[in-house]
Amino acid sequence: MQYIQVEPDVRVFVRDWGTGKPIVFIHGWPYSHEIFEYQYLPLLKHGYRCIGIDLRGYGKSDQPYEDYNFDVFADDLHLVFEALDLQAITLVGFSMGGAVAVRYMGKYLGLRVTKLALLSASTPCLTKKPDFPQGRDEAVYNDFLDKLYADRPQTLADFSKGIFCQPISSALASWFTSIAMQASPHATVKTLIALRDADLRPNLAKIEVPTAIMHGVYDSSAPIKITAEVNHKAIKDSQLIHFENSGHGIFLDEREKLNAELMRFVG
């Protein structure tokens, strides 16, 4: 476990376990690297190196007031990869982490990355645009922001329960809520706004590495028709893998299938 300095007053937390082929995990909103516990342990057992990064504002990373957008997150990834001198990375982005990964691939043209896995990725565009009428109304996210301002703990508790299609224990639900509550309240709001407003479609054509798009068919947070199917169509030679018994949280809903697919994809 270590911290990487990405700005004079900002450090990003990294958990680096194991040896072998490096798999870098980028968490979703509003969590931290800890949500991948049930991926780390099986993958480590099979000889992979698992690297979990807490985005600034989340988990154990520093929580500055400014700079919560996908350009900044991509820059932080770049500096972490440089500091660890990572090569031949499989970059795994879940939910908002998928959007971060897509922006990194577009901005840095996939530097140091040889494979990309998008898990329930909240990208490229969640809300309606003139040329993207299938997106959601901005009001959906504005209402969610209002709930965060009114009662962040209850809002995040409800969200943590709602991302899963399969039943989870009350202990797991509480654990996910506790992870979400570690995040800076300011970062939680600012990154939700970034997700609401983002249009990352120009980045998709710049992705030239093998890409696996894994998505739950019952995902209500990032509906498959406005995310995974759009990504699959735009990313050359990508593969779309449906998780037939999953909602947004495929890392728990179908953990065995996800772990097997990751190992198959990484090789």
Read off the CATH number of the domain in which 99 is found: 3.40.50.1820
Q: Is the pLDDT of residue 25 over 90?
A: yes
In whole angstroms, what is the distance from residue 197 CA to residue 83 CA? 31
CA-wise closest residue to 263 among 214, 230, 217, 216: 214
In whole angstroms, what is the distance from residue 260 CA to residue 39 CA? 10
Catalytic-labelled residue, pool 32, 61, 95, 246: 95
Looking at residue 176, its amino acid is F
Between the CA atoms of 181, 185, 190 and 196, what dihedral angle is there, to the nearest 10 degrees?
50
Q: What is the DSSP letter of 118?
A: E
The alpha carbon dihedral of 16, 20, 22, 27 has a sign of negative
The reported pLDDT for the residue numbered 65 is 96
Given pLDDT bands bounded at 50, 70 and 90, which one contains residue 112? very high
Catalytic-labelled residue, pool 54, 75, 219, 253: 219
* Strands, E assignment, 27-182: 49-53, 89-94, 113-119
| Total of domains in the chain | 1
CA-wise closest residue to 198 among 99, 119, 77, 118: 99
Q: Is the pLDDT of residue 67 over 90?
A: no
Is 146 labeled as catalytic in the residue annotation? no
Cis status, amide bond into 30, omega within 30 of 0: yes
Phi and psi torsions of 168, nearest 5°: -125, 160
Sheet containing 49-53: give its strands across.
Answer: 2-7, 10-17, 49-53, 22-26, 89-94, 113-119, 211-216, 239-243
Catalytic-labelled residue, pool 27, 33, 232, 248: 248
Residue 235: domain span: 2-266
Is 246 labeled as catalytic in the residue annotation? no
Following DSSP, what letter does each residue of 62-78 receive, concatenated?
---SS--SHHHHHHHHH
Residue with tokens 């995990």: 25
Is 169 labeled as catalytic in the residue annotation? no
Chain mean position to CA 108: 18
Q: Is the pLDDT of residue 1 over 90?
A: no
Q: Which residues have CB under 8 Å from 201's CB, separation 6+?
A: 124, 125, 132, 230, 234
Percent of the chain with pLDDT over 90: 99
For the chain, the average pLDDT equals 97
In whole angstroms, what is the distance from residue 125 CA to residue 134 CA? 10
pTM: 0.97
Cis status, amide bond into 185, omega within 30 of 0: no
Residue 125 tokens, joined: 């565009």
User: Per-residue pLDDT tens for 236-261?
Assistant: 999 999 999 999 999 999 999 999 99
